[in-house]
Chains A and B, each alone.
Chain A
Amino acid sequence: MAEKLMGKNFTPQDVRAKVTGTGKYTEDFRVDGMCYVKMLNCPMPSANVTIVDTSEALAMDGVLGILTSDDVPPNPAPGFPILSNEPRQLGQPILAIAAETESIAAEALEKVKLTYEAQPFSLDPLQSLYPGGPDALTEGNFVKSRSESPVSHKWSARDFAVAGEENMPMGEPGMEWNVGDVDAAFTDAAYVIDESFVVASSTHQALEPRSTLSYWENGKCFIYGSSQSQSWMMPGLASMMQVPLSDIVYIAEFCGGGFGAKASPYPTMGIPAYMSKKINRPCMLRITRAEEYHIGGSRPGFQGQLKVGFDKAGKVTAIDCYIVQSNGPNNGSGDYSAAAGALALVYTPTNMRFRGMPVFTNKPYIISQRGPGQNQIACIMEPFMDRAAKQLGIDRIMIREINAPDHDVVFSNRKSTVTSSYLRDALIMGSEKFNWKEKIKLSGKRNGTKVIGIGVGQAYHSAGSNGFDGLVTIRPDGKLYIHSGVGNLGTYSYASASRIAAETLGCSWENTVIERGDSRRGLPWVLAQFGSNTTFTTTRTNFAAANAAKDKLKEIAAMDLGGTAEDYEVDNETVFLKSDPAKVMTFAQAATRAIELGGVYDGHEYPDDLHDVTKAAMAHVQGVGLVGVSKDKMPKEGSVPALATGYAMIEVDTETGKYEILEYTSTVDCGTVMHPQSLDQQIRGGGVMGMGMASTDRMVYDPQNGLCATVGLYQTKAPSILDVPSTMDVGAVDKPDPQSPAGVKGVGEPVMGCAAAAILSAIADATGTNFNRTPVDPDMIVNAMAGRPQSYKPLQVNI
């Protein structure tokens, strides 16, 4: 029996290239004749631009060409065009110039003569919703659905007056749903909290900027990008470049971080691609760090009101939540709706009302960030749970256990179900690991100016999908090739999730090769590498492909060695007769026979239910050996919940407002553990990002001019090594999800949200203050401890 691979540590094939610096990220590629492109970006939040004269720029030595909005396909509001003369956010690209060097391109941009007609702009959704308030887009500030045009949506002055300054005005929402009778439940509740809150917009800040290299060769458009995903990029790029799918070659071997912002094709990818088509030279567009803050995407901020009712046993009986989401000038993401789903699942309220109102602003381009919506709401709701526990005299872990979902949970207006839920087990495991019972005794303990705070947080994300394609080949060299279409975000899930195919086919890991990173390697259609879905989604596709290959191995063996396919078994890189293992074919022999047989055996024929991207990929694998290709048609019912819990002990200096995270522990429900090292790394890394979310990650704007004050890593600070604990204790419940052939679920998103929530819970515990705001910075803590009013108004944003 071949070695069992799932659940064991291994070294993914791309680690060595990372530590030696030989891994090629987009800017590391060089192509003969390559020139450089630089963009002219809008210097104000909204403008109508007239390009007056480009002749001086184009006459410069070394300047090769210009690209304007006339050269690229339009993308009507609220789409985000590649280039636009009506930029609706700071830093939106207007035009681009190609030159022999970046210096020349930059100098040429300064010689372009253009006029800016400044337009009214909006940075605060509540201001935009006020009667007569500015709309971010010419057409309005809201779209009901993606297929509709924007409209101007206003609330009444009365809506604002009734709310007063402390509470959220709650005019007509863009989306609303109800389960049960919330009003009656609040009447009967033993304890009710009803307060407004703010979660700041924050930006992804992947360390690698989203640079793109592009050229055209033999009618095909080659694009080298920094993306989380691989095959998912193909249809979007084909549509962006207005060519058939088969004319796109996409190369993305490494991605220097994405966190959601590089999941799908992004508009600037079109700039070097269209420029290259126009001037017939390979074009490199390097994105600067500062540009990344404008076009690199950010997580939408929330302003909202959260009302929660508890019975005296601590059960959440009612939630009424209203979220106004601050989008950029584009469609944004469904964070507000996802936040409602998280409230409904994690706290299992028997009655719930949700209202949501996404509003366009002239702030940057919004893209989902790690735990979109779920992580924002965890930051607000978790401290609410602590308050209820304290009020009702229940342990803070216990109140979470009381409300945790079971496997048979039915939640939200959609009556959603889950594939499995071990949140309660994660709470029990985590609180034991953290030694909660002893640590909680330290809560409020003072040491000079310092005071201890103990915190706990939980978060959820729906982490898995189905119905995509898997592809493996067994070649005459005797090796198994797993074609991974998923991308290389840095989590190693592309590799761990491939191992199920090797295990299913009884192939050693040494004889397994993962084909990835270049669409010419024959990469099947799978979902983007976002939403923590890769682990669940692609163990299924790889399992399906491996089983397709297994069936063909058995059929070939039966053809050559006699008997029927059912008489054969596959293991140890061979297919053999169960009753007489001496009747055997090696993988190499079977692959050679598959090529001779052709048809379904070597990929010349394949199932018609494959996606077009997979069908295009088949051209690259036909005839290379035995081809196993299949769509994942295994049944799947319900959301695949990734659930995470975090525990923090912090020491707050009441005079400076600074705090140190003394200890952090995190435990998760991610189904069966697939790859222990990469799981630990995800839990810790997500924890670090969550610590930033709680304390320093936020975008700040100048309300007068609409300029962004956070355009450097030191201005919206990602945690450094000194901001986080030296060690973090992590663990997993390790119980299988019944709907995955390997029992696995993803987990990358909620491990961030639970950490942010745990830190905020600890800050509230240490300071006795309900900030209802994320992030909490030292200034806020100092004011709270000194009994001074805060420097901001309750619903104020962009600070």
Chain B
Amino acid sequence: MQKKFSSDRFDPLSTVRDALSRRHFIKGVIAAGTVAGAAGLVTGCSDSSDSSGGAAGSVERLITVNVNGKARPVDVMPNETLAHTLRNKLGLTGTKIGCDRGSCGACTVMIDGVTNNSCSVLTHTLRGANVITVEGVGGANGELHPIQQAMIEELAPQCGFCTPGQVVSGVSLLQRNPNPTREEVRYALAGNLCRCGAYNNYVDAIVKAAGSA
């Protein structure tokens, strides 16, 4: 799984990612019994679908997910997304929801070392998996990860909403490629949209951090 520099989300050869692909996710949601109105998907109007779990009356099940190095028992609905669990049940609001559709990357987390859009992963599929969020990339005593430090120094974030996702994608890259080229950093961040357009600064920061990570 630790191969090449290209973004995990866009690497057609990654079998791990395929197992957690959007297609797989949608199949899982349908199997879990959620009805997503077809008209709503087209127009985005009666957009009744949401990520907060099953339909009224669905049953929660207790599972344990390893998040940021700690075993976290949590009751989850069958079609509850990881982004929802992290934000609303585990208090980890650093993971942002920008689109809830796997296209912006603001909710990027690492699952067993591989970056994923947590809005497009069902929590119940992660029994025993290791999840790292932006809250878990630094040191145990609150030290910043070198990427976070470099992003401060380079004034990389603008509005900051995509930043946690950029941090996690960067950390994942440096784990598998400690000395990436500028081009490799760009590919690693390709799934993280920044509407403020702070891309140059994010790359500057990750390249800078690579020297000290």
* A677, B87: Cα distance in complex, Å: 32
Segment touching A, from B11-19, B100-108, B110-118, B122-130: B100-108
* A21, B194: Cα distance in complex, Å: 15
Q: A21–B157 contact, CB under 8 A?
A: no
* A110, B48: Cα distance in complex, Å: 8
For A11, the chain B residues whose CB sits under 8 A away are 152-153, 155
* A678, B157: Cα distance in complex, Å: 10
Q: B161–A25 contact, CB under 8 A?
A: yes
Contact among B56, B183, B197, B201 with A724 in the assembled complex (CB-CB below 8 Å)? B197
Q: B93–A257 contact, CB under 8 A?
A: no
If the complex has contacts A712-B101, A713-B104, A720-B190, are A106 and B49 also in contact, measured as CB distance less than 8 A? yes
The reply on A293 being an interface residue by CB < 8 A is yes
Within 8 A of B (CB), among A59-117: 60-62, 90-91, 101-104, 106-107, 109-110
The reply on A513 being an interface residue by CB < 8 A is no
Q: A713–B48 contact, CB under 8 A?
A: no
Segment touching A, from B23-31, B39-47, B172-180: B39-47
Q: A28–B45 contact, CB under 8 A?
A: no
Q: B186–A722 contact, CB under 8 A?
A: yes
For B81, the chain A residues whose CB sits under 8 A away are none
Measured CB to CB, the closest approach of chain B to A147, in angstroms, equals 32
Give the number of A-B contacts (CB < 8 Å). Answer: 231
The reply on A489 being an interface residue by CB < 8 A is yes
For B45, the chain A residues whose CB sits under 8 A away are 41-43, 90-91, 290-291, 294
Measured CB to CB, the closest approach of chain B to A65, in angstroms, equals 16
Q: A681–B187 contact, CB under 8 A?
A: no
For A62, the chain B residues whose CB sits under 8 A away are 56
Measured CB to CB, the closest approach of chain B to A14, in angstroms, equals 7
For B192, the chain A residues whose CB sits under 8 A away are 721
Looking at chain B's contact residues, the main secondary structure is: loop
Q: A43–B53 contact, CB under 8 A?
A: no
The reply on A27 being an interface residue by CB < 8 A is yes
Measured CB to CB, the closest approach of chain B to A443, in angstroms, equals 26
Q: A257–B161 contact, CB under 8 A?
A: yes
Within 8 A of A (CB), among B184-213: 186-187, 189-190, 192-203
Most A C-beta atoms less than 10 A away, residue of B42, B45, B138, B197: B197
* A60, B57: Cα distance in complex, Å: 11
Measured CB to CB, the closest approach of chain A to B188, in angstroms, equals 9
The reply on B55 being an interface residue by CB < 8 A is yes
The reply on A23 being an interface residue by CB < 8 A is yes
| A interface residues, how many (CB within 8 angstroms) | 81
Q: B167–A207 contact, CB under 8 A?
A: no
Q: How large is the interface on B (under 10, 10 to 19, 20 to 34, 35 or more residues)?
A: 35 or more
Most B C-beta atoms less than 10 A away, residue of A109, A293, A490: A490
Q: A721–B199 contact, CB under 8 A?
A: yes
For B196, the chain A residues whose CB sits under 8 A away are 257, 490, 685, 688-689
If the complex has contacts A712-B99, A722-B187, are A101 and B53 also in contact, measured as CB distance less than 8 A? yes
Contact among B44, B97, B151, B195 with A718 in the assembled complex (CB-CB below 8 Å)? B195
The reply on B2 being an interface residue by CB < 8 A is no
* A258, B161: Cα distance in complex, Å: 11
Which chain A residue has the least Cβ–Cβ distance from B155? A677
The reply on B61 being an interface residue by CB < 8 A is no
* A60, B159: Cα distance in complex, Å: 40
Q: A103–B100 contact, CB under 8 A?
A: no
Q: B138–A20 contact, CB under 8 A?
A: yes
Contact among B56, B94, B198 with A60 in the assembled complex (CB-CB below 8 Å)? B56
The reply on B144 being an interface residue by CB < 8 A is yes
Q: B134–A20 contact, CB under 8 A?
A: yes
* A349, B98: Cα distance in complex, Å: 44
Could you mark each residue 303-318 of chain A with 1 if its beta carbon is under 8 Å from any beta carbon of chain B, else 0? 0000000000000000
If the complex has contacts A91-B43, A259-B195, A686-B197, are A19 and B53 also in contact, measured as CB distance less than 8 A? no
The reply on B52 being an interface residue by CB < 8 A is yes
- Please, could you name 21 A-B residue pairs with CB atoms under 8 Å apart, sorted by A? A11-B153, A15-B160, A19-B144, A21-B167, A90-B43, A101-B56, A110-B46, A207-B193, A257-B195, A288-B47, A289-B100, A293-B44, A490-B158, A681-B155, A681-B201, A684-B201, A712-B44, A712-B103, A713-B103, A721-B192, A721-B199
14 more CB-based (< 8 A) A-B contacts, given A713-B104, A724-B197: A17-B160, A18-B157, A21-B133, A22-B94, A25-B96, A28-B87, A102-B52, A103-B56, A208-B161, A256-B160, A684-B197, A722-B186, A726-B182, A727-B182
